[in-house]
């Protein structure tokens, strides 16, 4: 079945090149990945509930064997990729038709299929060499998709930033694998997993640190996140949905593989600092991501910053699992790992939904600027409703799936009191503060996004004469919206799948009606029935409606002008804007944002400046990471390279001298190593 999945995506890539720019070419591009992703869902569920799958081909590349191994962990991430790809492919049938008029779609369809296929191959690869090959294929395909709208110079710059950052990450991953190779003499993950417990402690630490930087760059952790808010808005919205929902999860997959396999994590307090580093990085990413999201005026860029926030929450849960495991608190480690993986799944669902919703808005209005939107709830009712489901889910409100996973992360944080180290207890307790602030700010972020996009009056002509998007786009969003609600009301299905995938014996397999986790004695230390919560909320809503109708009696409706201070009618210029709504947050966190405001007044007469014809106001924030970290780093690198350029004399004698010096140094190294 695995071979059929890969062949379907490769077939989709070939069909995309052969389809031309005809009317029905979008079906040739997206039907094969829909079939392949559906097959991948069935395959991954069969592996999780059954036995692992393995396949190998000898001599594909000299000295390297192509090894495919799909165990529960790989199948867990394959399931995530399959569901998201199916929904996004269905959505893309309607979304991509606009590109048929402007440019040829063959290249886009080819890259789309290759991009998804490479992600399946990344999570199933069992050899370091081919893992890096498929990783690079995934990075290059996504790079070309990011710069697909290459007419804008900003998109090219965003793509180049992404390309540089992803290759820096790949270099760190390569060093991590190289250290494992030096210990085992093989790039096979089976060899590394089998011997990792006997690695020297220094080698384990180096493997973890290099993997943390390499995979963390792809996941978008702070301060390695600078590519993410650039690349996601530049890419077409269906690609943005895939990148945010599943591609950054490849970084999480790499960290999970490294921690619980390749790096040889043991039940010893000396490994606890790994978890502390993950918790600190997660807390910083969550807080920084949500703070930049809440003030961003571009809807897709705000969603990109929100992805950084949710990556942080995933890392907090993963770090807690490592800390608990290092002190042999197995049940708590299982709780934290389930919380982390559940939030990874939930984020893939609601972030894919939100990016597709934002894509529908941009598709209809031709803008993602919150200051130019508004009033779309009547013109795009289905998009509004589905985007609202995603906003409620990502805000962590019941009965959505986001509430379940964030509740589990908080449960893991509260259980840190069982760690036998007082210093660690206090340190982890401080991590709950940024997480609590993050959850509250996330709700404010998506209240702002939904209100400024869909409610109130339209603030430009772009948001006036629009209609609902094609049905395939609505259907793609509806699949993920249904998944958000389903995993919110029946979360134990997802928890049981996670437990089976990661072989966590402290997670009971059923029934699928409550979140219930057990400690080593078999007693439940965390329980919550989400169906009961959903019923209670429904009853409260009906009771409130009934109370208003009964106590209010029969009412009559009178239409009249709203009291408006004598203006004679309120218009869009008198509304709260996206900038004004986030102004208090800018003021409170001005050290982070460094806001800058400008105003320009145009008087009626130069002699009387107090009679103003119009006022123009512009407010902007600055990215302290780019100004204080990346810009000086880039400038220093260019300065060093400019100095090194002097050795390029253009004379053959100089180059021969360089070669001779290199050979002498290598001979000395070999002689000393054998001495």
pLDDT at 331: 83
What's the whole-model pTM score?
0.88
Residue 601 bridge partners (DSSP): 615
Residue 264 three-state SS = coil
Residue 337 scores a pLDDT above 70: yes
Alpha helices in 103-200 (DSSP H): 106-124, 128-146, 153-184, 189-195
pLDDT in tens, 455-483: 878 888 887 888 899 999 999 999 999 99
- Rounded CA-CA distance 352/306 in Å is 12
pLDDT band at 172 (very low <50, low <70, confident <90, very high): very high
pLDDT at 61: 66
Phi-psi region of 277 (alpha: psi -120 to 50; beta: other; left: phi over 0): alpha
Residues 92, 84: contact at Cβ < 8 Å?
A: no
Enumerate the domain spans of the chain.
Answer: 287-544, 624-673
Residues 151, 145: contact at Cβ < 8 Å?
A: no
pLDDT in tens, 354-382: 999 999 999 999 888 888 888 899 899 99
Residue 360 three-state SS = helix
Query: What 8-state DSSP symbol labels residue 470?
Result: P
- Rounded CA-CA distance 309/290 in Å is 5
Q: Which helix (H) or strand (E) holds 515?
A: strand 515-518
Q: Across residues 433-446, what is the average pLDDT?
A: 90
pLDDT at 511: 41
Q: Across residues 514-540, what is the average pLDDT?
A: 61
pLDDT at 140: 94
In the numeric block, the tokens 């703070």 are attached to: 291
Residue 510 three-state SS = coil
pLDDT in tens, 74-90: 999 999 999 999 999 99
CA distances from 313 to 123, 408, 620 (A): 22, 11, 28
pLDDT in tens, 478-512: 999 999 999 988 888 888 888 888 887 555 444 43
pLDDT at 615: 74
pLDDT at 380: 92
Q: Across residues 233-245, what is the average pLDDT?
A: 91
Residue 555 scores a pLDDT above 80: no
Residues 577, 457: contact at Cβ < 8 Å?
A: no
CA 509 vs. chain centroid, Å, equals 28
For the chain, give the mean pLDDT: 84
Q: Give the DSSP letter string of 480-495.
A: HHHHHHHHHHSHHHHH
pLDDT band at 513 (very low <50, low <70, confident <90, very high): very low
């Amino acid at each position: 079945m695995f071979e059929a999945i890969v062949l379907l995506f490769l077939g989709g890539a070939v069909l995309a090149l052969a389809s031309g720019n005809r009317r029905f070419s979008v079906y040739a591009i997206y039907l094969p990945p829909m079939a392949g992703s559906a097959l991948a869902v069935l395959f991954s569920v069969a592996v999780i509930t059954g036995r692992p799958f393995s396949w190998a081909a000898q001599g594909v590349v000299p000295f390297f064997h192509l090894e495919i191994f799909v165990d529960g962990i790989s199948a867990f991430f394959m399931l995530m990729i399959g569901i998201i790809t199916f929904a996004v492919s269905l959505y893309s049938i309607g979304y991509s038709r606009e590109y048929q008029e402007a440019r040829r779609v063959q290249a886009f369809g080819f890259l789309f299929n290759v991009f998804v296929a490479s992600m399946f191959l990344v999570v199933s690869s069992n050899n370091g060499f081919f893992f890096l090959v498929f990783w690079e294929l995934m990075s290059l395909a996504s790079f070309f998709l990011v710069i697909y709208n290459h007419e804008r110079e900003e998109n090219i710059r965003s793509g180049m930033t992404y390309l540089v950052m992803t290759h820096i990450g790949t270099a760190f991953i390569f060093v991590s694998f190289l250290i494992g190779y030096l210990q085992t003499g093989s790039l096979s993950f089976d060899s590394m997993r089998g011997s990792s417990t006997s690695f020297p402690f220094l080698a384990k630490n180096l493997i973890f640190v290099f993997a943390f930087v390499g995979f963390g760059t792809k996941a978008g952790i702070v301060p390695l996140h600078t590519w993410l808010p650039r690349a996601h808005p530049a890419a077409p919205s269906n690609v943005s949905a895939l990148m945010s929902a599943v591609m950054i999860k490849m970084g999480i997959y790499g960290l999970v593989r490294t921690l619980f396999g390749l790096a040889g994590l043991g039940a010893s307090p000396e490994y606890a600092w790994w978890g502390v580093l993950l918790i600190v990085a997660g807390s910083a990413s969550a807080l920084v991501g949500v703070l930049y999201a809440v003030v961003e005026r571009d809807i897709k860029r705000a969603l990109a910053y929100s992805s950084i926030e949710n990556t942080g929450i995933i890392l907090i849960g993963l770090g807690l699992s490592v800390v608990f495991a290092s002190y042999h608190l197995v049940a708590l480690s299982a709780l934290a790992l389930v919380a982390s993986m559940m939030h990874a799944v939930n984020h893939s669902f609601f972030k894919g939904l939100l990016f597709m919703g934002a894509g529908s808005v941009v598709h209809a209005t031709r803008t993602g600027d919150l200051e130019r939107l508004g009033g779309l709830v009547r013109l795009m009712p289905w998009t509004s409703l589905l985007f609202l489901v995603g906003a409620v889910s990502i805000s962590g409100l019941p009965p959505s799936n986001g509430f379940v996973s964030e509740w589990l992360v908080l449960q893991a944080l509260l259980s840190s009191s069982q760690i036998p180290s007082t210093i660690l207890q206090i340190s982890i307790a401080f991590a709950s503060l940024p997480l609590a602030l993050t959850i509250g700010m996330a709700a404010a972020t998506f209240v702002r996004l939904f209100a400024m996009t869909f409610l109130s009056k339209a603030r430009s002509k772009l948001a006036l004469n629009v209609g609902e998007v094609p049905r395939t786009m609505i259907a793609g969003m509806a699949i993920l919206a249904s998944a958000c609600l389903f995993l919110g009301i029946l979360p134990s299905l997802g928890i049981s799948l996670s437990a089976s995938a990661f072989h966590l014996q402290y997670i009971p397999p059923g029934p699928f009606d409550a979140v219930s986790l057990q400690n080593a004695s078999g007693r439940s230390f965390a329980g919550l029935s989400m169906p009961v919560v959903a019923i209670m909320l429904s009853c409260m809503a009906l009771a409130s409606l009934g109370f208003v109708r009964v106590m209010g009696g029969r009412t009559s409706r009178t239409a009249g002008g709203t009291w408006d201070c004598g203006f004679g009618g309120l218009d869009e210029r008198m509304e709260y804007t996206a900038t004004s709504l986030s102004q208090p947050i800018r003021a409170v966190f001005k050290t982070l944002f460094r806001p800058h405001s400008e105003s320009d007044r145009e008087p009626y007469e130069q002699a009387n400046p107090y009679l103003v014809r119009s006022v123009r106001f512009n407010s902007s924030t600055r990215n302290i990471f780019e100004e204080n970290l990346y810009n000086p780093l880039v400038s220093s690198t260019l300065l060093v390279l400019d100095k090194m350029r002097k050795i390029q004399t253009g004379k053959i004698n100089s180059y021969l001298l360089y070669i001779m010096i290199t050979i002498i140094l290598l001979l000395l190294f070999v002689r000393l190593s054998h001495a």
